[in-house]
């Protein structure tokens, strides 16, 4: 939830990508793999990565059951990942943006257990996993970074578990909007306004709420002057007050053993 993402680079988006090698990739200070590598090591990483595959809006990057061979680094664009349960219902498990790594949940199975679908035209780098493992054995900094990325995914999911098991609709949506804001901010976009790439239904599926509840809560936030919504365009007028909503006290927690 409170990912320590560097807020330092306000210009990574609108530049042109001169080359697409990792060593030239503007994302390397984000949570992408190459963080902290020496230039020599960059080139080793470059060599294993298949660069710049394009995925159009609505297309799948992978599907449930696909053989797992590669991780995917999201270069530009926006993805959702989702499970499909026996009865055919979709459950959105995440929204993913520039610099994030997709496919980590498939390593344990040798095939993918969720679908990844582009919510806007996107570009990804394919990282063959066995080659990455080989390289991790040669480059300790890469190994360390990869472990941190996996661990961070675990932390992120656990944060969402806490949200889902203890927050009401207002709190969930406020936390969701703040999370988007913070991630856009970290990528050089404005944290105060942005386009929602997903539908109300997808937000609801992700937050464990119905789409009507999302719509109503957005309307309420707007009436309260917290935000302004028009279709998918969102303006956050008061980040501090949104934050305060997420911190409201509830009682859906385990009692006992409240040692300090």
Residues that bind DNA (CB under 7 A): 168-170, 196, 199-201, 208-216, 218-219, 229, 231-232, 250-252, 255-257
Strand partners, 92: 82
**Contact status, residue 11 vs residue 22, Cβ threshold 8 Å:** no
Least distance in angstroms from the C-beta of 193 to a copy of itself: 25
Tokens of 193: 């306004």
| Identity of the residue, 49 or 203, whose beta carbon is nearer to a copy of itself in the bound complex | 203
Burial label, 121 (beta-carbon count in 10 A; 0-12, 13-18, 19+):
middle
Closest among 147, 180, 168 to 1, alpha carbons compared: 180
| Identity of the residue, 54 or 56, whose beta carbon is nearer to DNA in the bound complex | 56
Least distance in angstroms from the C-beta of 86 to a copy of itself: 6
Instruction: List interacting residues with a copy of itself (CB under 8 A).
Output: 58, 82-83, 85-93, 104-109, 113-114, 117, 133, 136-138, 140, 143-144, 147-155, 157-158, 160-162, 164-166, 199, 201-202, 204-211, 247, 249-258
CA 27/CA 76 separation, integer angstroms: 10
**Contact status, residue 241 vs residue 226, Cβ threshold 8 Å:** yes
| Identity of the residue, 163 or 236, whose beta carbon is nearer to a copy of itself in the bound complex | 163
| Identity of the residue, 20 or 199, whose beta carbon is nearer to DNA in the bound complex | 199
């Amino acid at each position: 939830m409170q990912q320590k993402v560097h807020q330092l680079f306000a210009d990574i988006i609108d530049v042109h990508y001169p080359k697409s090698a990792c060593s030239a990739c503007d994302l390397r200070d984000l949570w992408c793999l190459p963080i902290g590598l020496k230039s020599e090591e960059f080139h080793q990483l470059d060599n294993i990565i298949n660069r710049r595959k394009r995925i159009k809006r609505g297309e799948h990057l992978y599907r449930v059951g696909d053989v797992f061979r590669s991780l995917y680094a999201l270069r530009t664009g926006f993805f959702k990942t989702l499970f499909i349960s026996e009865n055919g219902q979709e459950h959105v498990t995440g929204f993913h943006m520039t610099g994030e790594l997709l496919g980590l949940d498939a390593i344990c199975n040798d095939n993918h257990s969720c679908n990844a679908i582009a919510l806007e035209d996107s570009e990804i780098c394919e990282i063959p996993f066995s080659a990455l493992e080989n390289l991790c054995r040669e480059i300790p900094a890469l190994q360390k970074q990869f472990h941190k990325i996996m661990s961070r995914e675990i932390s992120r999911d656990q944060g969402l578990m806490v949200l889902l098991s203890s927050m009401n609709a207002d709190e969930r949506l406020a936390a969701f909007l703040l999370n988007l804001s913070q991630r856009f901010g970290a990528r050089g976009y404005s944290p105060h306004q942005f386009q929602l790439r997903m539908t109300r239904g997808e937000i609801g599926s992700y937050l464990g709420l119905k789409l009507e509840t999302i719509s109503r809560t957005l309307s309420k936030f707007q009436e309260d002057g917290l935000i302004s919504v028009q279709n998918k365009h969102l303006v956050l007028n008061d980040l501090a007050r949104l934050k305060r909503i997420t911190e409201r006290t509830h009682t859906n927690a385990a009692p006992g053993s409240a040692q300090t």
